[in-house]
Structures are given as C-alpha cells and as structure tokens.
Amino acid sequence: MDFYRRSGVLLHPTSLPGRGGIGTLGKSAYDFVDWLKDAGQTLWQVLPFGPTGYGDSPYASFSTFAGNPLLIDLDLLFERGWCKKSDVVPPDYIKADGNVDFGAVVWWKMPVLKNAAQYFLETASADDLALYKRFCKDKKSWLDMFATFMSIKSYYDKKAEDEKPASSLWNVYWPAALSRCESDAVRDWQKSHKDEIETLKVIQFFFDFQWQALKKAANDNGILLIGDIPIFVAPDSADVWGNQSLFQLKTDGSLSCVAGVPPDYFSADGQLWGNPLYDWDEMRATNYDWWIRRIKRVFELTDVLRIDHFRGFEAYWSVSAGEKTAINGKWEKGPGQSLFKAVRQRLGNLPIIAEDLGVITDEVRALRDDCGFPGMKVLQFAFSTDEAEQNGMTNCFLPHTFTSQNCVMYTGTHDNDTLQGWLEKLDDKQLLLVAQYIEGSALSVEKCRSLVKSGALRSDMIKTVFSSTAVYAIIPMQDILGVDNEGRMNTPSTTGANWAWRMKKTSLKKSLAENLRFLSGMYGRNLPEN
C-alpha cells in the first residue's frame, strides 16, 4: 500500500467515554468511527495495545503480542452470550465519567473477565468454541507463552507481596528453573495450572474478537487504523522471559545492559529507560524471526504501523545495568537495513511510519529514506526563538521547509502537552514567534493572547498541519476539542497521572466533524486513490 494524502485523529481507545471507568472496544468506539466518517477522516491512530503494568504505560506492556484486557467491552460480551448480565454492571466506585482510575478498574474488571472466560468455556456454542480453538491454534507462537508467563507472575507477585522481597521481577523471585524458562519446568507449571492458563487465553480471544470487529467496521467506512510499537520491550514481560537468548542478559536472566539516550540540551544526565537491549547478532542468526512475528501481529490488528524510536535501528545508546544515569553509556550499532530487508522478504512492502524525533544523524535519515518510510514532523517542535534570531524561520518542522512530502505531520504527540495547554504556557517572545508565523502578520502580544484564549490560534495551527505537503496530517483528539493541559496524555519521566485522560460523552460534536471535513476537502486530503 502506498501512502497518499490523508488525515485523521490520534486517540487511544482508553480515552473513549463509557460507563466502565475506561474506554473500551464497545459502543463508544463505534460511535467514534461514525464520527470520523462524518468528519471525512480516514485515519485513526492508536497507542500500543498491549496489557499494561506498573505506571499504566502502553509503551511498557507484559507482552508486545497480547491485547490489553481492560479494553474488552463487557456489554458486547453479554450481547454475544459470553458472560452473565450481572457481570456487566460496574460497582459504585467505578465512575462513568472523568479520567481513568487504573487501579480501581483493574481491581473490578479483571476478576469479572476471568468469570466471563469460565462462563464462556462452560456455555459457549460449538461454533463459538470452534472460533476460540482456531484463535488458539493461529496465535500459538505467542499465546501459550504469554498465558503461562501471566499465570506464573500472578502467583509469585502475590507471594512477593506477602513476603515483601526487594523485587517481584521474574529473574529475581521466581524459582531458578522457571526464571530461566526451562522447558521441563514450564511444562510442569502448564499441567498444574491448566485451567488458569486456559482462562487467560479466553480473555485474549475476547480482546482479539472485539478488536477485529472494530477494525472491520473502521475499514468498511474507509478508515485505516494506525498501530504503534515501541522499539524496546519491558523487562517484566513474556517477550523477554520466553526469548532470553535474544536479549542482552546475564546467565541468571538479569539485565546486562539497558536502553536510554545520552545527555543532551534537555537533560544533563541523559535518560535511563531501563529496557533490555537486543542481542542483534542472535536476532540476525534467526533471520529476525521474532521481530517479523511482532510486526506481523500488529498488522493483524491495524493497517499502518508507527515504530517508536526508529533511530535505535541504526545505533542505540547502551548503558551498563546498575548505572544511576545514562551518562556513561555508549553508542552501539543496530541492525540497520538488514532487519527491514528480512521483513520485506517475509511480509512484503508494508506501510510503516518511522518516529524519527530527537537528535537524528545523517545515518538515521539515510536508513529511513532507504527503507522508504515517512518520518514525523511535529508543529510544536518548530518554534525556537534562538534559532529564528540566528537563521530566520528555517526549523525543519516548519511546513515551508519540508523537502519531501514523505512525512507525517502532527500538532503534537502523546508525549507533548495539548496544543491549547502548550500555547497558554508560552512566554511572550515565543508566543509572538508562533502566532506571527501561523497568522502571517505582525501582531501585538495582547492580540496573540486573545487568539490563544479564543482558541483561534489553536484552530489555525490545525489548519496549518492540514495544508502542509505532508502525506499524512494527524491531530490528537485533545487538540481538536481544545482541551488544556488537563488533557495531557503523558509527561515523560513521570508516573502516577499519565495515560488517564478521557473524552466526555458530549465531545463528538457535529460542528467539529464539519470543520475537519472542510479542511480535508480544502487541502485535498482523503480523496479517492488514483
């Protein structure tokens, strides 16, 4: 599939409204598809869909293959006959409106889903059970390992909680044979916990069934889903536990080196992410089979893929495990073009977006361009007052400087403040720079502040993205709604309040859809393919 001029919206399903305390793949998701169609939009970008753990980040999941059970819609399960009516009613402490309280939702919903899975196994029709068996067979390469991992983890997390050790990470507290994922120990666990593992598989079937139905509805309405995967996976994941030879680990399963980024203008210590690094030599020896299966899985659920931290395929910052900061790391070469050649040989020419933000070298740009992947342009990153004073308005994120249409332009990303929140915080000097560029005329500070307060400057920045030559124009839903910084999805290097924002039930207004449809028509987006 070739890229052509399209536009759409960035919104993770957890941010949809609904009565269960978190957005799901139910009615509100289908309402959003209808609204996108009315708005003339053909792209719906989501964040990674994996099951989240501590911190609730979709970029640090227990599996890069599995789906997040919290997205399963209980009403749809009941309509299908896969759970009891009593299971779909949230308790009083689950609020229908407002941001997600992940702790409360997990406490209530996970036991309900396990009950529903048992009910399904006991009462489902022969046809539905056949669907489930087909799912288990088709997804066996990751499903068995994931369900086993979560079964073991559940047991030893509880044991760790009772006994309060230093850590409940699998390579610290599990028995050595299970920690090393030895086949005999794993088989013994699977035999003795067969029912529990089966329940976890059914829950994944629920997710897959509902997601596939939603994807079909979107595709039938001319809307493509854009998926997202981080380059690295979480240390506490089935991905690492079940594939230890593919990562830079010590013999006991502990991390040898971890991922991060070096010191820069924004951080004197750099960023220490702590993700395990790949053993690219071992990956290459297997012809990148794990990576190919990972990408294939995302394309089972979405139509286009965004890969986070693309620059790590050219070179990555390696820090010895145990370091307190990223200062003492070093650059190591990644797989480069060889990985993507292997992907093309197995899966064909796929539509992939390269997240190429940050300090990017000529080598990274060459890899991106050799692969033919569009990179990213973020309008919030385009306005540096120091750079403007020295060189004029030449920032590479400004639309008039684009040297190629092969890019995807955003007002902001999940890691940015919302556009309205960002504008409200700008000092006078930077606000003048932004407003005068967007409005194309000299303005007073007072006039700029007035444009921010009214939402006019935000709207004109959205128009700027639509009018750019970028092949895709994608706007976070918060920016379309004009939500201030209370709608920020994530503040990097913080925990506790991220990923929780939700729309209101009344957010999908007809006037907003009409405006997006107008912008798409005016700037030649979402027209029939030639």
Give residues with Cβ within 8 angstroms of 208, minimum separation 6.
67, 135, 139, 301
Residue of 308, 314, 417, 479 marked active site: 308
- Kindly list the distances between the CA atom of residue 131 and the CA atoms of 128, 330, 492, 504, in Å, as whole numbers in the listed order: 5, 49, 40, 35
Question: Strand pairing of 407-410 and 330-333?
Answer: unpaired
Count of C-beta atoms within a 10 Å radius of residue 498: 19
What are the residue ranges of helices labelled H in 164-193?
A: 170-173, 176-179, 183-192
Annotate 20-45 with DSSP letters as a single string: TSS--SSHHHHHHHHHHHHTT--EEE
**Distance of alpha carbon 150 from alpha carbon 196, whole angstroms:** 10
Residue 415 among the catalytic residues = yes
**Distance of alpha carbon 150 from alpha carbon 157, whole angstroms:** 10
**Main-chain dihedrals φ then ψ at residue 438, nearest 5 degrees:** -70, -40
Structure tokens at 323: 């370091």
Count of C-beta atoms within a 10 Å radius of residue 99: 17
Q: Among candidates 328, 314, 168, which has minimal Cα distance to 235?
A: 168
Structure tokens at 438: 């967007």
H or E segment to which residue 119 belongs = helix 102-123
Residue 355 among the catalytic residues = yes
Residue of 73, 196, 355, 356 marked active site: 355
Neighbour-count burial of 511, counting CB atoms closer than 10 A to its CB (0-12 exposed, 13-18 middle, 19+ buried): exposed
Residue 332 among the catalytic residues = no
Is the distance from CB of 262 to CB of 330 less than 8 angstroms? no
For residue 321, the 8-state DSSP code is T
Give residues with Cβ within 8 angstroms of 355, minimum separation 6.
306, 307, 308, 309, 310, 375, 376
Residue of 323, 415, 460, 484 marked active site: 415
Q: What is the CA radius of gyration of the chain?
A: 24
Cα distance between the two ends of the chain: 12
Q: Which residues are identified as catalytic?
A: 308, 355, 415
